[in-house]
Amino acid sequence: MSLEQAKLVAAYRAVDEFVQNNNIVGIGSGSTVVYAVQRLAERVETENLNVTCIPTSFQAKQLIIKHNLILGELDTNPIIDVTIDGADEVDANMTLIKGGGGCLLQEKIIASCSKKMIVIADYTKDSEKLGDRYKKGIPIEVVPMAYVPIKIKIIQMFGGEIKLRSAIAKAGPVVTDNGNFILDWLFTNQDLDWDQVNSEIKMIPGVVETGLFVKMCNKAYFGQAEGTVAERSN
Ligand SMILES: O=C(CO)[C@H](O)[C@H](O)COP(=O)(O)O
């Protein structure tokens, strides 16, 4: 089985187990979510489900439109039944690193409005401790004018190294869907209290959001190499 098949089985399982008729569904971002939207569209068609989808990014919005699903927004649907999203890493306590695709701000807003947040991932995202498997660090979305002082402050507070995320098909930094920059914090201490770290980083003026999702995820599905799906709940 390919990694793509592992993503697909996790995504299909989550959509099949958690989406019901008349649900408001948060649609996450990334490559695994593509399979979730594909499965959701199949179920809407075959079971005639009434589902409204709330996107977590420009990419998610385009996926919803492409599959002819009903597009909603928080203004009219502030309470979401279930959000299905990917993750860059999930530790043994269900703390997540998210934001590898740069969509962490809207993803966290949508997760915070959801009765349930379900993560879908392949087996490479399943970790004991944050940093065991995901080596690109914790993404932090920041207001552009403050990125240098924020970098200095985080290193003074917690150590490690910070890189301003560069764009691939453009000279200069990645600019998020919200017009901000992304810092990737390569932490060295894996035994930090992530709840506290998240709170302290968020208190630095100019920090918009961190990619640390603490106590937000209810269940994670990890597609395995042999085609089965492993689960973890909190
Ligand atoms: O947080 C995210 C985007 O900001 C993604 O959910 C995360 O990067 C996982 O993506 P993929 O499913 O492609 O591995």
CA atoms within 13 A on the CB side of 200: 12
Topology of domain 3-127+214-225 in CATH is Rossmann fold (3.40.50)
- Residue 137: which of 172, 171, 100, 177 has the closest Cα? 100
Q: Is the model's pLDDT at 234 over the cut of 90?
A: no
Could you tell me the residue ranges of all domains in the chain? 3-127+214-225, 138-209
- Percentage, residues of the chain above pLDDT 90: 99
20-68 pLDDT, tens digit each: 999 999 999 999 999 999 999 999 999 999 999 999 999 999 999 999 9
User: For residues 106 and 72, is the Cβ–Cβ distance under 8 A?
Assistant: no
Predicted complex ipTM exceeds 0.90: yes
Residues recorded for the chain: 234
- Residue 47: which of 8, 15, 14 has the closest Cα? 15
Average per-residue pLDDT in the chain? 98
- The predicted pLDDT at position 1 comes to 74
Distance CA(57)–CA(208), nearest Å, equals 16
Q: Residues lining ligand 1, judged by CB closer than 6 Å?
A: 28-32, 85-88, 98-104, 107
Q: Which residue has the tokens 């934001």?
A: 99
Q: Is the model's pLDDT at 147 over the cut of 90?
A: yes
Question: Which residue of the set 89, 107, 141, 209 is catalytic?
Answer: 107
Please tell me the pTM assigned to this model.
Answer: 0.97
Same topology, domains 3-127+214-225 and 138-209? Answer is no
Q: How far is the CA of 7 from the centre of ligand 1 (A)?
A: 11
Q: Is the model's pLDDT at 172 over the cut of 80?
A: yes
Task: Give domain 138-209's CATH superfamily.
Answer: ACT domain (3.30.70.260)
Q: Mean pLDDT across the stretch 214-232?
A: 97
Atom from ligand 1 closest to the CA of residue 28: 6
User: For residues 120 and 72, is the Cβ–Cβ distance under 8 A?
Assistant: no
Question: Identity (one letter) of the amino acid at 168?
Answer: I
104-128 pLDDT, tens digit each: 999 999 999 999 999 999 999 999 9
3-state secondary structure of 144: helix
Distance CA(98)–CA(211), nearest Å, equals 5
- Residue 11: which of 229, 234, 232, 233 has the closest Cα? 229
Burial 158-176 (b: 16+ CB within 10 A, else e): beeebebbeeeeeeebbeb
Q: Does 107 participate in catalysis according to the annotation?
A: yes
Q: How far is the CA of 180 from the centre of ligand 1 (A)?
A: 18
